[in-house]
């Protein structure tokens, strides 16, 4: 399978998880599906790729690279396999973060319409969505803590 095809499959897999998170009813089954069929499979793909790269079993398709320096990371990400590896990393963590935000928002009584912008920002620019959610949730979290 080509790196491009693997990249596209991972992308579509993550988008399916995001669509479920944004639009499907938030039943325990749906949330488990997102976590185990979405996030976990992206993590498994990452594990297979990183172990393959580190052991030499999978060729990232470029001229070397490493995680020990900026130049090494740039070299790694310049390779098709390295870019795919990095992208799968982002996909897995952003989807996990979106799932956490959705569960947290549900537990704090935020409407789905209010949640949507934070989920979208997390999908598009992970740390931005997470940071803004942490700011917005703080007041309600404190109110809930006082009431408990």
- How many beta carbons lie within 10 A of that of residue 91, not counting itself? 26
pLDDT exceeds 80 at position 38? yes
What tens digit of pLDDT does each residue of 51-71 get?
998 898 988 887 677 778 999
What tens digit of pLDDT does each residue of 73-94 get?
898 889 999 999 999 999 999 9
The burial of 143, by beta-carbon neighbours within 10 Å (0-12 exposed, 13-18 middle, 19 or more buried), is given as: exposed
């Amino acid at each position: 399978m080509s790196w491009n095809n693997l990249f596209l499959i991972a992308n579509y897999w993550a988008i399916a998880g995001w669509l479920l998170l944004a639009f499907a009813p938030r039943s325990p089954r749906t949330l488990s599906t997102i976590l185990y069929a979405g996030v976990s499979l992206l993590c498994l793909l990452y594990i297979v790729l990183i172990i393959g790269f580190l052991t030499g079993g999978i060729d990232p398709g470029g001229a070397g690279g490493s995680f020990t320096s900026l130049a090494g990371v740039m070299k790694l990400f310049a390779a098709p396999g390295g870019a795919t590896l990095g992208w799968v990393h982002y996909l897995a963590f952003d989807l996990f973060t979106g799932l956490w935000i959705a569960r947290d928002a549900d537990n704090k009584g935020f409407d789905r319409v209010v949640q949507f912008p934070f989920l979208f920002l997390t999908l598009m620019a992970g740390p931005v969505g997470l940071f803004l959610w942490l700011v917005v949730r703080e007041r309600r979290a404190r109110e809930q803590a006082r009431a408990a």
